[in-house]
Structure 1
C-alpha cells in the first residue's frame, strides 16, 4: 500500500518540481524587470527631473512577489539554510524523523501564512484599498500575486511532508534522506561537480 502511495506522491512531486522551477524563473524575470525600472527611473530623473515609472512602489511589489515565487523551488532544491552540526552525526533513521518534524513545522507555518495573507487580500478587495501613492494601485492585485507564490509553496511543502511521512512508514529511510535530508559536504561537492560538467 505504501509503495503505491509513494509512487503517486513521486509523480506529484515531479510536477511540483517543474512548476516550482517555472515559478522561480518567472521570479527571476521580475527581478530583471526591477533592474529595468530602476534604471529607467534614474535616467528619467537625471534628464527630465521627474520620475516616469514610479519604480519605488513597483519594485516593492515585485520583490515580495518574486520572493514568494521562489520559496517552493528553494524547498525542492533543499537550499533552505539549516544548522546541521549535530544532525549529520545522528543515525539515518533519526535524521529521517528530524527531517519529517522540520517539514511538518514548515508546512504548519506555510498554512498559517497563507491563511493570514488570504485575510489581508480579502480585506483589501472588499475595502477597495489602494496604495497611498500617485499610482493608486489596488492593493489586492500585487497581494494576489504574492499569495499565489505562498499557496504554491504551501502545497509543495505539504506534498514533500506527505512523501517523507509515507517514506518513513514504508521503511525507505534513504529515499527520505534523498528527498528532505540535509546534504552532507561530500554530496554538495558532488552536486557542484555535476553542475560544472553539464
Structure 2
C-alpha cells in the first residue's frame, strides 16, 4: 500500500456505492442485534416457563432456530468491514505490502466466488419456497419464505461486503475500519 498521504481520492461514484453497501451492511447488523435480543428473550422465557410450569412453548424452538440464522448471517457484512472476521494475519504481516494486498485481493475474490454461489443458491431456494407455499413442519406452520428471505438477504449483504472490500483493495483504500492488519486475525 502507498502511504496515506500519497493516495488519490477514490472516484465519487465508487464512494457513493461503497456508502450504500456500508449502510446496508449496518442495517443488517441492526437486524442481527434485534434478532439476538429476541433470541435471548425467547430462551429466557422458555427456561422460566419450563422450569416453573413444566410447560414448553411449542413455537420457541422454531423461532430460536430462525433467529440464530439471522444473528449469524445478517451482521456478517458489517463484521467484515469492521475487520472482525477471523483471518491469518501473520502471513500478511510477513509479506511486503504490495504482495500482502495482492494476497488479500485473491482471498477476497475467492470469498466472492464462494459467497456469491451461496447467495445465488439461496435466492433460487427462496423463489421456489415462495412459489410452492412451503411452511415449516413445526406447530406454528410459518411460511418458510419469511425466514429464508432474511437469511438470503444476510448472505447477500456478506457478498456485497466482500465486493466492497475488493473495490477498496483495488482503489488502494483501507479495507477494514480496524487499525492494522492484526485486527480480527490470528497471530
Question: What band does the TM-score fall into relative to the shorter chain?
Answer: 0.7 to 0.9
4+ residue segments displaced more than 6 Å: none
Counterpart residue number, 1:140: 145
Alignment pair present for 1:103 and 2:108: yes
Q: Which of 62, 67, 70 is the aligned partner of 1:65?
A: 70
The whole-number CA distance in structure 1 between the counterparts of 2:94 and 2:179 is 12
**Which gives a bigger RCO, structure 1 or 2 (Cα 8 Å, sep 6+)?**
2
Counterpart residue number, 2:81: 76
Aligned-pair CA distance for 1:10: 2.5
Aligned residues: 175
The whole-number CA distance in structure 2 between the counterparts of 1:6 and 1:93 is 21
CA contact (8 A) 1:37 1:55 kept: yes
Q: List alignment gaps of at least 5 residues for structure 2.
A: 1-7
Alignment pair present for 1:19 and 2:15: no
Aligned-pair CA distance for 1:143: 0.4
RMSD of equivalent CA atoms: 2.3
Aligned-pair CA distance for 1:64: 0.5
The whole-number CA distance in structure 1 between the counterparts of 2:28 and 2:149 is 15
Counterpart residue number, 2:60: 55
TM-score by length of 2: 0.82
Counterpart residue number, 2:14: 9
- Higher helix residue share: 1
TM-score by length of 1: 0.78
Aligned-pair CA distance for 1:53: 5.7
